[in-house]
Amino acid sequence: MALRGPLFRLLRTQLGHTCHQSRAQSVAVLGAPFSKGQKRRGVEHGPKAIRDAGLIDRLSALDYSVHDFGDLNFHHLEKDEPYMDVKFPRTVGGANKMLSGAVSRAVGAGHTLVMLGGDHSLAIGSVGGHAQQCPDLCLIWVDAHADINTPMTSPSGNLHGQPVAFMLKELQDKLPAIPGFTWMKPFLSSRDLVYIGLRDVDPGEHQILKNLGIQYFTMRDIDRLGIQRVMEVTLDHLLSRKQRPIHLSFDIDAFDPSLAPATGTPVNGGLTYREGIYITEEIHNTGLLSAMDLVEVNPVLGANREAVEATASLAVDVIASSLGQTREGAHAAIDEIPSAKDDTEQLCL
């Protein structure tokens, strides 16, 4: 299923001036220290934890030109009353507007973008900013949760459980005019989205998934089919009609909590290390990854330093694998295997 070689490079040149292969040599890292999309504080420290786990050095070792643009400085309103039970709508909307512009500029400058969250409400701005430059993008959402509640179906009112609803054209008439979000319009069709790793889906979300015919794979599907088949179907679904840029939005809680304990909404029975890394390897092998999010690393919720470091280190592995780190390692080329005869002759001298 993975496309490689001359045909692949030809396909990538057809993606447009801001979505083509030259970006593969340059990575932009953008921190989004933001937590108002949910109740638990601490996820705003995620970008620092991921950088401290060695992200920049790891990407530099992959021979990328790495541009770390630091962290966005979000404005938090002192008074931001709920609207229809939606918490902090103006603050979340304003943060996503700022992020959208920053992502659009980075992608437009020819970088592959890595956005470090922060909570998953930030995907509204990250995917939206990417879509400004690459309107034909497709979205792979790796998460324990579907994050597709509308304000009317959300049990909590937390916007980190609603970002996909804001993106989808098919849900435009299901969303009220939320304060803080007048700047954005839906930009994604439901057929251009695939979920992987679901295991905690709200009733309203399940109805939306079924009604819109969205392609999704639960953990049961992964058990049943295997991760190789899941990725084959995912990439065929998104790329068979047209080769186009991929946005990967990866919530660290997609992994089993034994691997990623420092996160806000852990759910047992998640991805193994090997399954998660296989997902990112296959996405990289398409050559079409254009931007990605790594969200919901929350250092405050780690039971100890080891738990925090394990979660942040896993996040670095996910990002590096998405950008080409392989499990077989990167090896310097050698012209030929030395002969045992040569060694024997040396010993006799």
What are the residue numbers of the active site? Answer: 120, 143, 145, 147, 160, 251, 253, 296
Residue 253 marked ligand-binding: yes
The Cα-based distances of 333 to 63, 126, 155, 161 in angstroms read 15, 38, 55, 47
d(CA 349, CA 344): 9
Q: What is the crossing angle of helices 305-322 and 273-286, to 10°?
A: 30
User: How far is Cα 271 from Cα 227, in angstroms, rounded to an integer?
Assistant: 10
Residues in contact with 325: Cβ distance below 8 Å, sequence separation at least 6, in sequence order: 58, 62, 317
**Is 57 part of any known ligand binding site?**
no
- Cβ-in-10-Å burial (0-12, 13-18, 19+) of 160 comes to buried
Number of neighbours of residue 181 by Cβ within 10 angstroms: 22
The answer to the question of whether 317 is labelled as a binding residue is no
Confirm whether residue 147 is marked as ligand binding: yes
Residue with tokens 């390897």: 281
Annotated binding site for Mn(2+): 120, 143, 145, 147, 251, 253
Binding-site residues, in ranges, read 120, 143, 145, 147, 251, 253
